[in-house]
Every structure is written in structure tokens, then in C-alpha cells.
């Protein structure tokens, strides 16, 4: 499916990023794995980068080859990290990497953002989301203080902003055939699942009781791969839940169904 295609995967050292990189490589892609730490067994080429550092992002973009056919933005940190760091990695770093890479991507390329079920409440956060559109790395701490973003809220807000941004970019590069979509997992059994349970407490435990099981990285990687493939060429600006039915449950609860 991905023969003669180059795909850049961030967060490729573990979890969903690692599973996605392995799946793409198995389907013929030339994978460029990006992470802050070297993966134990990453397919293809590895490039080290810290997405919380704008200088490192610029260096990464300069080092990456032109003509890549896809970008999977999977790197992220959990809500147990300081709020400013969560926004820097999960939102600002992702956004800056993407915008700087677009001129180097091949026409017809696909960009896939790993969002989250945690971001489904974005319509209730529109004023803060609009304010974040011009946010830069230097202003993150002040932004968090001004908008009451602390603790787990940092993760929720970053994912809300990412889903909204994905919707907004639905036709941003249509003239070049470049599309952007998102995938929103529910709880997934990765190295940071414990961080979510620790941070969200009873809320996370209730979600886990309702679900038949947590997701696995291998449940999410094929959805990302589909959105990176030519089979999804007319899917633009979409956010696909991959959460064992939790998104549907929450919608039914919200609307009394």
C-alpha cells in the first residue's frame, strides 16, 4: 500500500507511534522515525528531535528530506507533565513542525494528527482556542495562567485545540492535494496509560469499567495508516474516534439517547 512512499512518524519510540511505524514499514513505506529518544528497534531512518524546542524543530525540518508523502503527528506527553510542557509538545510543537514541513511535502501528501477522546469538548472552549491560534512558545506559561489551564486540563485543552485546528485546515492546501485529518483514541494501553489514570482518578476508572478493554497500539495504527493512504483521498478535516465505542456512549449520554 505504501510502496515508494516516505512517511514521517513522530513519537516513534513507543506506543502508538512505534506500532504505526512498524505497520507502515511492513506495508512498504520508507519510514523516518522521529522521537526525543532513540527507539530500540525503529524501522527505517531515525532522527532525534525535541518538539518542545522551536530551535530543534527548525533543525529537524532542515534535516528531513523533501518529497515525503505523509506525516503522522503522534508524539505527545501525558497530563502528569507541567501544563506548559504539555501545550508545547502536544500542540505548539506539532503545529510548528507541520507548518514548516508543508512546503517540503509531496503534492497529494497526507497529514494525520493523533488527537484524543479528551478533546471532544472543543466546542465549549472556542474563545480559548481562538486565543491559542497566535500562541508561541514564549507565551505558553502566561497563556496557561490567563485561561486557567493547569493539571489534566492542559492535556484536554491541547487535544481540543488539535481537533479544532484539524477541522480548520480541511482545505488549507487543497490546491496541492495535501489533506489533514485526526484520529481520537480512547484509553490505550501504552507506557503513559498509568499517567492518565493517576491524573483523572475516578473519571478514568469509570471509563475503564464501561469499556470492554483498553485499546492497544495495534488498534490505532491501522486507522492512522488508512488516513495516510490513497484510500482516504477524499477524507479531509475529519476526526475519527477509535475508542471501543466510548465516543458514541458519551454522545448518547449528552443527548439523552
Judge whether 44 lies within some domain: yes
**Angle of helix 202-210 relative to helix 246-255, nearest 10 degrees?**
110
Judge whether 195 lies within some domain: yes
Q: Compute CA distances 99 → 21, 93, 103, 255, whole Å.
A: 22, 10, 8, 37
CATH of the domain at 240: 3.40.50.720
Helix-, strand-, coil-residue percentages of the chain, each rounded to 5: 50, 15, 35
Where in the sequence is the domain holding 220, given as residue range(s)?
6-251
Strands (E), the chain: 6-10, 30-35, 45-48, 70-73, 110-114, 179-185, 239-242
Prediction pTM value: 0.94
Judge whether 126 lies within some domain: yes
Judge whether 1 lies within some domain: no
Burial state string for 98-130 with b = 16 or more CB within 10 A and e = fewer than 16: bebbbebbbeebbbbbbbbbbbbebeebeebbe
Q: What per-residue confidence (pLDDT) applies to 169?
A: 98
From first to last of its 257 residues, the chain has per-residue pLDDT tens of 899 999 999 999 999 999 999 999 999 999 999 999 988 877 899 999 999 999 999 999 999 999 999 999 999 999 999 999 999 999 999 999 999 999 999 999 999 999 999 999 999 999 999 999 999 999 999 999 999 999 999 999 999 999 999 999 999 999 999 999 999 999 888 776 776 666 666 666 666 677 888 899 999 999 999 999 999 999 999 999 999 999 999 999 999 99
Q: Establish whether 155 is a catalytic residue.
A: yes
Q: What per-residue confidence (pLDDT) applies to 252?
A: 94
Q: What per-residue confidence (pLDDT) applies to 130?
A: 98
Query: Which entry of 155, 157, 165, 196 is annotated as an active-site residue?
Result: 155
Q: What per-residue confidence (pLDDT) applies to 187?
A: 86
Judge whether 31 lies within some domain: yes
User: Among all chains, which residue has been given the C-alpha cell 512518524?
Assistant: 9
- Tell which residue, 25, 22, 93, 14, has the closest CA to residue 60: 93
Dist CA 77 CA 72 (whole Å):
16
Judge whether 256 lies within some domain: no
Domain count for the chain = 1
Judge whether 257 lies within some domain: no
Amino acid at each position: 500500500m505504501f510502496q515508494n512512499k516516505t512517511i514521517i512518524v513522530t513519537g516513534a519510540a513507543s506506543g502508538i507511534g512505534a506500532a504505526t511505524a512498524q505497520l507502515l514499514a511492513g506495508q512498504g513505506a520508507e519510514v523516518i522515525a522521529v522521537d526525543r529518544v532513540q527507539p530500540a528497534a525503529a524501522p527505517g531512518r531515525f532522527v532525534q528531535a525535541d518538539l518542545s524546542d522551536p530551535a530543534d524543530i527548525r533543525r529537524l525540518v532542515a534535516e528531513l528530506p523533501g518529497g515525503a508523502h505523509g506525516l503522522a503527528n503522534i508524539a505527545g506527553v501525558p497530563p502528569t507533565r507541567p501544563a506548559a510542557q504539555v501545550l508545547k509538545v502536544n500542540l505548539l510543537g506539532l503545529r510548528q513542525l507541520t507548518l514548516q514541513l508543508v512546503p517540503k511535502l509531496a503534492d497529494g501528501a497526507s497529514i494525520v494528527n493523533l488527537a484524543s477522546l479528551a478533546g471532544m469538548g472543543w466546542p465549549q472552549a472556542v474563545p480559548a482556542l481562538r486565543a491559542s491560534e497566535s500562541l508561541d512558545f514564549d507565551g505558553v506559561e502566561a497563556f496557561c495562567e490567563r485561561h486557567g489551564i493547569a493539571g489534566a486540563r492542559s492535556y484536554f485543552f491541547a487535544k481540543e485545540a488539535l481537533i479544532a485546528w484539524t477541522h480548520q485546515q480541511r482545505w488549507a492546501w487543497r490546491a496541492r492535494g495535501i489533506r489533514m485529518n485526526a484520529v481520537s483514541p480512547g484509553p490505550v494501553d501504552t507506557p503513559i496509560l498509568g499517567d492518565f489514570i493517576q491524573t483523572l482518578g475516578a473519571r478514568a476508572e469509570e471509563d475503564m469499567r464501561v469499556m470492554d478493554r483498553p485499546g492497544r497500539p495495534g488498534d490505532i495504527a491501522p486507522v492512522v495508516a488508512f488516513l495516510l493512504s490513497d484510500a482516504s483521498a477524499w477524507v479531509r478535516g475529519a476526526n475519527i474516534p477509535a475508542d471501543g465505542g466510548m465516543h458514541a456512549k458519551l454522545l448518547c449520554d449528552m443527548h439523552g439517547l
